Structure formats: C-alpha cells, structure tokens
Amino acid sequence: MKSNTRAIFASNRNPSRLKRLKRSVRFAAAAVLPSAILLLAPPSIRAEEVIERDIRTQYERIRLVQVVDGLQNPWSLAFLPDNRMLVTERRGRLYLVDDGDRTEITGLPEDILAIGQGGLMEVLPHHDFQNNGWIYLTYSRTENRQTATTLVRGRLDGESLVEVEHIFTQDRVSGPGRHYGSRLAWTADGHLLMSVGDRGAQPPRAQDLGDHAGTLLRLNDDGTAPDDNPFSGDEDAHDEIYSYGHRNIQGLVVDPETGDIWSTEHGPRGGDELNLHHPGENYGWPIVTLGLDYGTEGEFPGSQARTMEGMVDPIYEFLPTHAPSGLAMVTTDRFPAWQGNLLAGGLRSERIRRLVIRDNEVVHDEELLLGTIGRIRDVREGPDGNIYVLNDIHDGGIYRIEPYD
C-alpha cells in the first residue's frame, strides 16, 4: 500500500497512470476491510480522495482533494446557497452535486449542439436565488447546423429545470465549433455580464458594434439591455454591448469590494490576456494583438500593431501560452497570503496562474498545480472558502484546494 500511494503522488503529470494507480489503491484497501463494514457503505456516495497531501507553494501549503470523478468534459461549476454544486458537461448535461453524490437535472433545452468548443457551457445561479430559484445557462444553440451563443434561465425544482426561457441569443449564427465565450458574472448592482467570442472565422466582427461577436455584454436579469449601457440609443450599435474588440473571453470575475471587472482572454499563437474592463472601450482585436498567426508565426492577418492609441492594452500578457479558462478572485481568509489575488486557470498550459495585483498591475505570477490534473477548465472560490477546480478531460472531475494542516 505505501509504495502504491507514493507512486500516485509521483505520477501526477500522467493522468492515465494516476487513474490506474488510484483504482489499484482503492481495490487493495477494499480487500482488507471486514465484509460487514463493506455492507454498511452506501453505494451511491463516493468518498473524497486526497490526490496531493502537501503541496508547498511560495506562500501557502495546500492539499488537493478530488471531490467528484467520472464527469465527461465538464465546463462550469457554481454553488447554491446551501453549498450544493451545479456542474455542466459540454455534451449537454447539468448535474446537481450534493456531498459527492451527483444527480442529473432534466428539462434542459433540446437545441444544444455539442461540437468542437461548443455545447452546454456556463451555469450561474441568480444572485437572489434563495428567493427566485433562477439558474442561468449558456450554450451553443443550433439553427440548421449553424450556431449562436445563447442564454437561458429556468427555475430549479427538485431534479428538474422548469419555466425555461430563452432570454438572449447573439444576433448572427455562424459555422459551429469555435470561440463562443459564454462566461457569466454578476455585478454589484445586479446586472449580468456575459462574454461572446468572435466565433473564429471572421475576426473583424469583433470591431463591429452592430454585431454581438467579440464582446462583453451587460444585461438585466431578464436578458434585456440596461438603459445606462454605454451604447444605449446608438443606432449603429447593439444596446447590450459593454466593451468590444475581444477574441474569446473564457475567464470572468467581479471584485466584490471595488466592482472591478476582470477577464482572461485567448489570443492567437501567444497574446493571451488579462483585461480590466471599462464601459464602451475597444480592446483592439484583431487590429491590435500581442499574438501571432498560427500558420506562419508572423503577424496575425489584419493586425496593424501591438498597441494603438484609442484601444485598451491588456493589463498582462500570459507567457508562455496559457489558453486561459476559469478565473477566480481569492477573498477568503482560508488562504491569507493569497487574499485579493486572481487565480487564472489554463487549458493548454495545464496550470493555474496566481496573479498578485497592485494598482492595476501584475507584480507577481506563480504557477500552481502544473500538470497535476491536466487541462483546467474552471476555477471557483467556494462558500467554504476553499478553491474548486474542474479539469477538461473525458473522465474529468471536481477538485478542491484546501489549506494543509
């Protein structure tokens, strides 16, 4: 048993080997338990499993625990007021997780097209969920094999989503598969932020205020546009747009103290960005980019500069390529040295970047969980003060980062 346990900790950069070793340890442990105890164990509840017992980061000692396994390409994680979790799978399934036991939620829209990067994506409860029961979901909605980033809401009633209504769909459908955006976040004044990617095939759409592609939207909770949005009343612009010139925002969080809106965004080859959002501003894509063309590693087609007057530069460029995903801000005192830091998940990089911000500048960047659980899709701070992480693999799971003690 001891040698197998050490092998698990030594194999954290090889997920398939790690999985086989964990199963062998569980089998060996079960074999030595008295049969009477085995009969008492509830079969539907899965015990939490320590993956890394003592990880020494620069300022905190942490433990990594797997909470749930067996998820197929999970995309988003959210918490209900009673600490239960909601988690989406890109193929079109929503689960309610209670103490490690997951239940599939029925009643989801039937027009979800899971292809390429598309499918069922974000889940977020209403900020007043306790009183209204609303759950918000984003997905790639299909129309004759074309797709559009879409927002729906429904009320959670036991194991079903009821009263489901489409409340926003981007104005143009496109060929399926790429750059949907789809992150959601609530502002302090109760408005809903939603990212929409440039959809990949026609990057200049991100510069067109008459197109939702390549934007960050600010919505009322019913999907309509607030009257005080920056382009409200402009006949040449969509009222819902808050900022534009974005390639594909995949991480989004609002600072609960300052109200600052932070996002992480995919560049092309390189050029992954951390941005601080201001109403009505142009963030440059594809006219301005720090990234390169995929095929030639020369300038991206249509790019004119790395920076340009009148367009907002990123606060930070992730180097090397990060392929950013979920973004969280540490507010808990569970990790006192990390308070106020941003935790930026990475897909291709298979790590979390801990960013220390001073006066809207990144002054320190630390890598966490490098290669430990593979592609990281989402990062969330839980109501218990711990950090929760999803990995984007076929046999994915929910992981908890907690203080070592």
Given the residues 126, 179, 266, 277, select the one marked as catalytic: 179
Of 32-46, 126-140, 144-158, 168-182, the range with the lowest mean pLDDT is 32-46
Q: Answer yes or no: is pLDDT of 299 > 90.
A: no
Residues 162-195 pLDDT 10s: 999 999 999 999 999 999 999 999 999 999 999 9
Q: Answer yes or no: is pLDDT of 362 > 80.
A: yes
Give the CA distances from residue 290 to residues 67, 254, 344, in Å, rounded to whole numbers and listed in that order: 38, 25, 19
CB distance 86 to 108 below 8 Å: no
| Mean pLDDT, all residues of the chain | 89
Q: Answer yes or no: is pLDDT of 41 > 70.
A: no
pLDDT confidence tier of residue 13, bands split at 50, 70 and 90? very low
Cross-sheet strand order for the sheet of 160-169: 120-125, 134-143, 146-157, 160-169
Q: How large is the average pLDDT for residues 278-293?
A: 93
Of 15-19, 298-302, 354-358, 388-392, the range with the lowest mean pLDDT is 15-19
Distance (Å, rounded) from C-alpha 192 to C-alpha 261? 12
pLDDT confidence tier of residue 47, bands split at 50, 70 and 90? low
Domain definitions of the chain by residue range: 1-41, 77-177
pLDDT confidence tier of residue 32, bands split at 50, 70 and 90? very low
- The pLDDT assigned to 17 comes to 43
Does residue 179 have an active-site annotation? Answer: yes
Q: Answer yes or no: is pLDDT of 326 > 50.
A: yes
Q: How many CB atoms lie within 10 A of CB 104?
A: 11
Distance (Å, rounded) from C-alpha 90 to C-alpha 113? 9
Distance (Å, rounded) from C-alpha 325 to C-alpha 252? 9
Report pTM.
Answer: 0.88
- The pLDDT assigned to 200 comes to 93
Q: Answer yes or no: is pLDDT of 264 > 70.
A: yes
Label the pairing between strands 61-71 and 146-157. Answer: unpaired
Residues 62-117 pLDDT 10s: 999 999 999 999 999 999 999 999 999 999 999 999 999 999 999 999 999 999 99
